[in-house]
Chains A and B, each alone.
Chain A
């Protein structure tokens, strides 16, 4: 299976807002982070949720975000982070800096 992104690579979560079952939380849509780990390949929950059990597996990434980037009013040290598990089809390369 081709793994699109590498550990340490800057990635951005696509800015899409489909209805229906999605496991990419709202708070990271359109946000940029860094791949912390490639966590394996798993079936796409968006397909499983609609009964398509035979859907292909997708690479799953643990992406690390800086809290200061996520929340304009983040009340904590600049080093604080959040890691979210994101399926590959929700990620694209981040261009240069953060959003």
Chain B
């Protein structure tokens, strides 16, 4: 019996050379990481739940998103599922952030 290999489960697959170039972590990425740790401390989110949600993003999305984009998508999904935040609240807040940032850019 065999079955499908899930997108994240990549041990042993052929792949190209390792790109050793490193990027300094962006503030938003550290913010995501910090939010995960704090939600963990509050028992709102286990690392296992975040991993599951990342894996469930599925092929295509998994590789299209960067490491912390996957984290952000996953953490958001878990918090929505658990009703810690609502879709409406998040949508409004994201629009507000965009407006603020757009204003801030104006000369």
Contact = CB atoms under 8 A, between A and B. Distances in A.
Contact of A48 (B1, B4, B11, B49): B49
Given A17-B2, A21-B51, A26-B5, A49 B11 contact: no
Contacts of A71: 12
A93 interface: no
Interface string A17-38: 1111110011101000000000
B-side interface mostly: loop
Contacts of A51: 49
Interface residues of B, number: 16
A3 to B, nearest CB: 23
A54 B32 CA distance: 26
Interface in B37-60: 43, 46, 48-49, 51-52, 55
B9 A17 contact: no
Interface of B: 1-6, 9, 11-12, 43, 46, 48-49, 51-52, 55
